[in-house]
């Protein structure tokens, strides 16, 4: 991610958080937990990319581990 994308993403993240905060008091408790979890995970992934640590991606695991195994089964 380049810095311009990170700035726009963080700005949109804050804007959506501020728009959702006014609706949170009227929501059920389990929905509040869901909002908090989604926002914390999103912020954690964003913070890790800003600090230079790429988050683990499931597609990378599939490409390097599963795909060669399936290919060897198909071609043998």
Q: How far apart are CA 54 and CA 50, in angstroms?
A: 9
Q: How far apart are CA 68 and CA 18, in angstroms?
A: 45
- Classify residue 42 as exposed, middle or buried by CB count within 10 Å of its CB (0-12, 13-18, 19+): middle
6 pLDDT tier (thresholds 50, 70, 90): confident
Q: How far apart are CA 75 and CA 29, in angstroms?
A: 53
Predicted TM-score of the model (pTM):
0.62
- Classify residue 46 as exposed, middle or buried by CB count within 10 Å of its CB (0-12, 13-18, 19+): middle
Calculate what percentage of the chain has a pLDDT beyond 90: 5
């Amino acid at each position: 991610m380049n810095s311009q994308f990170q700035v726009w993403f963080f700005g949109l993240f804050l804007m959506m958080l501020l728009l959702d905060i006014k609706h949170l008091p009227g929501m059920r408790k389990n929905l509040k937990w869901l909002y908090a979890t989604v926002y914390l995970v999103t912020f954690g992934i964003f913070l890790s990319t800003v600090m230079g640590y790429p988050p683990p991606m499931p597609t990378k695991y599939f490409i390097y581990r599963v795909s060669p195994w399936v290919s060897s089964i198909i071609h043998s």
